Structure 1
Amino acid sequence: MECIGNDSTTTIRLCSYYKSSLFSTTSSILVTQQSSQSSTHLSLSAIDEINYKTDLLIIMQFITTIGALFTLAAAASAEAVSWDANYDDANRAMTSVSCSDGVNSLITKHGWQTQGAVPGFPNIGGAVDIAGWNSASCGQCFKVTYNGKSIHIVGIDRAGAGINMSKAAMNTLTNGNAEQFGRVDATIERVGSDQCGLTASKRTIEFNA
């Protein structure tokens, strides 16, 4: 058998037997070419699979990014902000609000007996985050922004929606328009307690003689 063009890169060998017919030689060439095309097809399939996985990864990263953006947008979306003059009373007992006693509440954690004892008073109020008595969200600090003006509110009570703050705080937020506006849509952010001037919880330890 005589072979011409033994090239490992093309895997095509033109072989013919001495004294063989043209048909036989052509057949050998065709068979070899078909084998080469099959190898090429397998290589292309592998490339396609890599491209598919790469595209899938890009799509997943895109979806993750979009999801994060939607989460941020939701966290900073406008919520209802209203006022209640009961939160303006510095002498009002903390037992009048949801965050009174209980392990998560403000008398137990900080020793505040009246609303006036809350740091930042009268920037206090109810919040939708506080579901009711002894809520884990008692004392949460909220940053409320309206028309570029921001104030911080300490959550001490429950609210049906958004934030229900003192009239004084509402006037600060709306440049003296609490009574005129009554209710506004503002951006509410949950921030660190230090931004409301809160310190670490007080703990009382009793020793038996």
Structure 2
Amino acid sequence: MKLINTLSLLAVAGFALAQNATVVRDTFYDQKTLSLGSVACTILESDGFTTLGGVPAFPNIGAVPAIRTGDDPLCGTCWQLTFDGTVVNIFAVDAGRGSFHLTTEAMTALTGSSTVSSVTATFSQVAKSLCTP
């Protein structure tokens, strides 16, 4: 009986961790040479990154709605987005202003189309190692 209760709790906890959010294509993040001084997570400069293209996860980078300020501890975290069975991991470089904002390439990978500008996807924070090549 304890095993069944434990498994039930784990199933509920796992479900509670997955949430839905709007995900948009944002060409601002396509700019490989854009200084990290132009995004909220300037704290990433202390890791040696100076441009968006210098972040090893590029082009799978973007803005995350949970980030509020540049010194937010969520800067540099990894987020897994799932849409219609496709999974893409995104490295957080900016405040999302209520939604995830992705490069064109990351959005195309997520949706399978370069013309889709916005979708609702499931997301969860995952291990940072999933965002490093």
TM-score bracket, normalised by the shorter chain, equals 0.7 to 0.9
1:145 to partner: Cα distance: 1.2
2:65 match: 128
TM-score, length-scaled by structure 2: 0.87
> Aligned residue for 1:194?
129
Pick from 161, 167, 182 the counterpart of residue 98 of structure 2: 161
- Matched residues in 1 for 2:7 and 2:87: separation? 28
Report which structure shows greater RCO (CA 8 Å, sep ≥6). Answer: 2
List alignment gaps of at least 5 residues for structure 1.
1-57, 199-209
Counterpart selection for 2:14 from 72, 88, 106: 72
Report the counterpart of residue 45 of structure 2 in structure 1: 107
Q: 1:25-54 CA distances to partner (integer Å, 9 max, x unpaired)?
A: xxxxxxxxxxxxxxxxxxxxxxxxxxxxxx
Q: Any idea what the Cα deviations from partners look like across 1:177-198, whole Å, max 9, x if unmatched?
A: 4x3x321111112111111117
Q: CA RMSD in A?
A: 2.0
Per the normalisation by structure 1, the TM-score is 0.57
Q: Report the CA distance between 1:65 and its aligned residue.
A: 6.8
* Match in the other structure for 2:27: 85
Following superposition, the deviation at residue 88 of structure 1 comes to 0.5
Distance 1:139 1:189 in 2: 14
Aligned-pair identity in percent equals 29
CA distance in 1, matches of 2:127, 2:101: 19
Unaligned runs of 5+ in 2: none
Amino acid in structure 2 at the alignment position of 1:139: G
Aligned to 1:182: 117
Q: Alignment partner of 2:21: what SS?
A: strand
Matched with 1:98 is 40
